[in-house]
Chain A
Amino acid sequence: MISVQSLTRVYGSHKALDAVSFEIQKGEVVGFLGPNGAGKTTTLRILAGYLPPSSGTARVAGFDVVRDSIEVRKRIGYLPEAVPLYRELRVEEMLRFHARLHGMERERTRRRIGEVLEQVQLADRSSQLVGNLSRGLRQRAGLAVALLPEPEVLILDEPTSGLDPIQRLEVRALLAELARRHTVIVSSHILPEIEAVCPRVIIVAKGRIAADGTREALVRQLGGASHVRLEAVVGPDVAKAKALLASIAGVSQVVDGGRVGIHHGFDLVCDSDLREDAGALAAARGWALRELSWRTPSLEQIFARIALSDGIGEASGGTGGSTSGVARTDAATSPAVALAGARLEFELRATPATAAAPAAAPAAISGAAQAKPKVVYNLNPFDGGARRDLGKPKAIDGGSAERKEP
């Protein structure tokens, strides 16, 4: 259905897309995932026939997006991120205009307008001005417009951005329904959106494809570090306990998770679920268990790792090697590093203040994360100093907070 070969797009001196290639079969639902500025939108715009590629080819339903642009555009429903609709038109008028652009007959137009409005649950708003719709409703109106000519391919750029959680759920449900009938490409930088809807995920970073495959395949291929988490009171001899845990058949490595109160945490890196073995060991040794759980890295952690490895590449002055290379080698050679990356990511999200001290995280990664303090350059003459750390609270009365610090 969609065939993309070494697609490259350059904006001035900036390479937004660098030799991207992928294939999408008819009926597939593919999620485009990547941090902001990774090249997702550029790819989708090229597929939609809006931007011409600098080099490389892209074909949709057998038509080249540059040479047979009109034929391609007839077959796609494209919803840009900004959801551009004519504000001064009513929802129904907007749909009718779109039908006219597609050259749909009157009878079919009427039928389809009724169907798509029903589909996106906007039937009761059909005579409302598009400009008066809320963000979520406008998003749905945009979806209705994209769906109207019954396109073979649906291209949705960040369909959930700017929506509240409930609207997000609604759009997600709608996407799941659409996935049954169309070939769908969805882009997002929010992983749960993608994970919930798309069986296949393409992770883009810095204009390259960092990973491509089904969710399970990606977790298997890049995750590496599934582990059993064990927290127990192991007594004073931690090293001995660690050695004991490492002796369990199937455990490839034990990562010391540090002391939590009277308990001590361990991560047993292993391929299969070894909770029972670990539990039996704990019972035999009389350790008071607090936690025993089987953890596999989620797609989110893999995504975070790719995004983080991005940061590492920059922090160390770009030691060479593509982003994808960094991500893969990390995962393959050192499960501990991968584990730490995942944990770091979690801590960054949970409590930014404590992220500075991940006990077991290898210095390389925590260092990379710390190497970039959030510094803003401030031109406000009344806001003392040209730069300050955003992590620290700013005192209102002229920096007394800084003075208190040792």
Chain B
Amino acid sequence: MLGFLRGCSAIWRRELAGIFMGPLAWTLLVIAIALQGLLFLVYLKTSQGDVDLALRFGFGESWAFWALAALFPPLLTMRMISEESRLGLLEYLLTAPVSDAAVVLGKFAAATSFMALVWSSGLLHALLVQAAGVAPDWGAVWGGWIGAVLVSGLFCATGLLCSALTNTPVVAAFGAIVLHIVIVILPLLSSLTEARWIQEAIARVDVLDHHKATFLVGVLDSAYLGFFVVWTALFLYAATRSLEARRWR
């Protein structure tokens, strides 16, 4: 167990270093911070000074949030396995004394912590508002941040799975983005149909609603937490198995 965590943390640190050594991470950060900051001003105006509502927009009530959440993780994870496989680095990594699961988990943790950093711009907005004299609802702010991290964790896991399935980073990114778009527009589909059972089935797997209904309003519900943890774990497990399957090819 200790060895597992040690391997995880080594790979997590390496991957984070890899992310930040490329230009991509900085580009993504600039885009996210500029966009979120700009939109926060817009939200503030449209909500006529309702700070909590404006912050909620930044953490999941707006389309901009979901666009970033769907697009960024695949860009981070696309190279993590597919490119390493192409460069032969997997042969290096998988002959080091770390298990496949530790490799996947370390990479997943790196991508998710980068996304956590991206969403931290919302925390910054809350701080600014506080400094300006209006106390935001900090419970909702932290809840929104945690929810946002969980959502991007799930999307990082799917991105990692796509990366493990192919040897071409672009294909991995494309597959993951398509999957994420489907996930995000799933609630729209449910409004198209009258069938009750379809609507209920969609509600069961509706990522948007699971985020908005609890985390965004500052409620930490274990059932909703479980929803994200279980789905993320499922995709990570699939990614691990697919990494293992590479040895058999």
Q: Which of A76-99 contact B (CB under 8 A)?
A: 76, 78, 80, 82, 84-86, 88-89, 93, 97-98
Q: Is the CB of B18 within 8 A of A80?
A: no
Annotate B1-43 by CB proximity to A: 1 below 8 A, 0 otherwise: 0010011011101100110011000000000000000000000
Contacts of A49 in B (CB 8 A): 94-95
Contacts of B9 in A (CB 8 A): 100
Q: Is the CB of B13 within 8 A of A100?
A: yes
Q: How many residues of B contact A (CB 8 A)?
A: 27
A164 to B18, CA, bound (A): 31
Q: Is B98 an interface residue (CB 8 A)?
A: yes
Q: Is the CB of B95 within 8 A of A89?
A: no
Q: Is A52 an interface residue (CB 8 A)?
A: yes
Chain A proximity of B26: nearest CB distance (Å): 14
Q: Is the CB of B14 within 8 A of A97?
A: yes
Q: Is the CB of B96 within 8 A of A101?
A: yes
Q: Is B88 an interface residue (CB 8 A)?
A: yes
With A84-B88, A86-B89 known as contacts, the answer to whether A78 contacts B95 (CB < 8 A) is yes
Identify the closest chain A residue to B100 (Cβ): A69
Q: Is the CB of A84 within 8 A of B89?
A: yes
Q: Is the CB of A100 within 8 A of B6?
A: yes
Q: Is A74 an interface residue (CB 8 A)?
A: yes
Q: Is the CB of B3 within 8 A of A70?
A: yes
With A70-B3, A80-B88, A100-B6 known as contacts, the answer to whether A48 contacts B95 (CB < 8 A) is yes
Contacts of A98 in B (CB 8 A): 96
Q: Which of B40-90 contact A (CB under 8 A)?
A: 87-90
Contacts of A70 in B (CB 8 A): 3, 97-99
Q: Is B200 an interface residue (CB 8 A)?
A: no
Q: Which of A336-376 contact B (CB under 8 A)?
A: none
Chain A proximity of B159: nearest CB distance (Å): 20
Contacts of A73 in B (CB 8 A): 95-97
Q: Is the CB of A97 within 8 A of B21?
A: no
Q: Is the CB of B95 within 8 A of A50?
A: yes
Chain B proximity of A70: nearest CB distance (Å): 5
Q: Is the CB of A84 within 8 A of B97?
A: no
Q: Is B221 an interface residue (CB 8 A)?
A: no
Q: Is B197 an interface residue (CB 8 A)?
A: no
A84 to B94, CA, bound (A): 12
Contacts of B89 in A (CB 8 A): 84-86
Chain B proximity of A202: nearest CB distance (Å): 21
Identify the closest chain A residue to B22 (Cβ): A88
Q: Is A180 an interface residue (CB 8 A)?
A: no
With A70-B3, A70-B97, A73-B97 known as contacts, the answer to whether A84 contacts B92 (CB < 8 A) is yes
Q: Is A51 an interface residue (CB 8 A)?
A: yes
Q: Is the CB of B95 within 8 A of A101?
A: no
Q: How many residues of A contact B (CB 8 A)?
A: 26
A111 to B28, CA, bound (A): 39
Q: Is the CB of B10 within 8 A of A51?
A: no
A85 to B96, CA, bound (A): 13
With A52-B248, A86-B89 known as contacts, the answer to whether A103 contacts B3 (CB < 8 A) is yes
Contacts of B99 in A (CB 8 A): 70
A102 to B98, CA, bound (A): 8
A73 to B93, CA, bound (A): 11
Chain A proximity of B224: nearest CB distance (Å): 35
Q: Is the CB of B91 within 8 A of A45?
A: yes
Q: Is the CB of B18 within 8 A of A88?
A: yes
Q: Is B196 an interface residue (CB 8 A)?
A: no
Chain A proximity of B136: nearest CB distance (Å): 39
Identify the closest chain A residue to B20 (Cβ): A88
Contacts of A80 in B (CB 8 A): 88, 91-92, 95
Contacts of A101 in B (CB 8 A): 7, 10-11, 96-98
Q: Which of A168-192 contact B (CB under 8 A)?
A: none
With A49-B95, A73-B97, A82-B91 known as contacts, the answer to whether A100 contacts B10 (CB < 8 A) is yes
Contacts of A102 in B (CB 8 A): 96-97
Identify the closest chain A residue to B14 (Cβ): A97
Identify the closest chain B residue to A85 (Cβ): B92
A12 to B10, CA, bound (A): 35
Q: Is the CB of A82 within 8 A of B247?
A: no
Q: Which of B14, B22, B87 has the most CB of A within 10 A?
A: B14
Q: Is the CB of A50 within 8 A of B14?
A: no
Chain B proximity of A168: nearest CB distance (Å): 21
Contacts of B14 in A (CB 8 A): 86, 89, 97
Contacts of A100 in B (CB 8 A): 6, 9-10, 13
Q: Is the CB of B247 within 8 A of A50?
A: yes
Contacts of B3 in A (CB 8 A): 70, 103
Chain A proximity of B217: nearest CB distance (Å): 41
With A89-B17, A100-B10 known as contacts, the answer to whether A51 contacts B97 (CB < 8 A) is no
Chain B proximity of A344: nearest CB distance (Å): 37
Chain B proximity of A76: nearest CB distance (Å): 8
A73 to B97, CA, bound (A): 5
Given contacts A50-B247, A84-B89, 5 further A-B contacts (CB under 8 A): A52-B248, A80-B95, A88-B18, A101-B10, A103-B6
Lowest 3 A-B CB distances belong to which pairs?
A: A100-B10, A84-B88, A82-B88
26 A/B residue pairs, CB under 8 Å, sorted by A: A49-B94, A50-B94, A50-B95, A50-B247, A80-B88, A80-B91, A80-B92, A80-B95, A84-B89, A84-B90, A85-B89, A86-B18, A88-B17, A88-B18, A89-B14, A89-B17, A97-B13, A100-B6, A100-B9, A100-B10, A101-B10, A101-B96, A102-B96, A102-B97, A103-B7, A103-B97
